[in-house]
Amino acid sequence: MNTASPPSEPPLPEPLLPEPLAEPLDVLVIAPHPDDAELGMGGAMLKMLAEGLRVGILDLTTGEPTPHGSLAVRERETAAASQVLGITWRFNAGLTNRMLVADLPARQRVASIIRLTRPRMLFAPYWEDAHPDHVAATALVEAARFWAKLSKTELAGQPNLAGNPHHPERLYYYYCIHLRLAVRPDVILDISEHWEDKLRAICCYESQFITGRPTTSPTLVDRFRDDAAYWGRLINRRYGEPLATREPLALHSLAHLI
Ligand SMILES: [Zn+2]
């Protein structure tokens, strides 16, 4: 069953831009739906936050409707997950779930949000996926990253972008895919010490991962743990999280390689 939200639901988020941040973010994770950032790189976010980095999440859509969710429920779940993560900043871009397209208005909105938050690193969904919103999100982030650095946007015929030009130096990709792909990531991060908190953040989305899901093993939560253990096994650690990059990785030193 897949029902639309009842009329008593609160309205979709206003398509407003966030206030410019006085202190820029170090990292902005851009997600098609609330829960993708947690699933794909909850461990990486917890790790970066523990290391003192300022980490934000930009959810592009509300993710609703879904079979067991609603706008109000998903909003509550998102707030709870944000609290578990201890995230620095989170915003919903108000684009339309299931109809996400990397068009010019969406690019303008996301580029403006990048300029207002000024992250050094961006994270986007991996480029190959069955979910059209995820594929659109990847294209949208790549285009918006480029647009965010444009100057002279006040000229006629140019996009009207908020904030000052800014170019995130790095763009990486997390895996939150709806295909059973045997992916070959560029990096596997050891998230062993953050796994339980990542799982707690994921489980905040009860309407997505628990309600109406199989209750006998393997449950969806069992699957998440199996995946994390698989990535951990490949690097001889308990739990891991895969990441990809199109550009070569730049390292200060080889000292932190496992
Ligand atoms: Zn998603």
Strands (E), the chain: 27-31, 55-61, 89-95, 121-125, 170-174, 187-190, 240-244
Residue 178 identity: H
Closest by Cα among 83, 71, 77 to 205: 77
* 3-class SS of residue 225: helix
How far apart are alpha carbons 102 and 139 in whole angstroms? 6
**Residues sharing a CB contact under 8 Å with residue 244, sequence separation 6 or more, in sequence order:** 126, 172, 173, 174, 175, 183, 185, 186, 187
Tell me how far CA of residue 162 lies from CA of 109, 205, 248, in angstroms: 9, 32, 30
34 CA distance to ligand 1 middle (Å): 7
For residue 185, cis peptide bond before it (omega within 30 degrees of 0):
no
Give me the residues near ligand 1 (ion), CB cutoff below 5 Å: 32-33, 36
Strands 89-95 and 55-61: parallel
Query: Element (H or E) spanning 183, and its range?
Result: none
* 3-class SS of residue 207: helix
251 CA distance to ligand 1 middle (Å): 30
Tens of pLDDT, residue by residue, the chain (258 residues): 444 445 455 555 556 899 999 999 999 999 999 999 999 999 999 999 999 999 999 999 999 999 999 999 999 999 999 999 999 999 999 999 999 999 999 999 999 999 999 999 999 999 999 999 999 999 999 999 999 999 887 777 777 889 999 999 999 999 998 888 899 999 999 999 999 999 999 999 999 999 999 899 999 999 999 999 999 999 999 999 999 999 999 999 999 899
Q: Residue 84 has what DSSP assignment?
A: H
37 CA distance to ligand 1 middle (Å): 9
Residue 193 identity: E
163 CA distance to ligand 1 middle (Å): 28
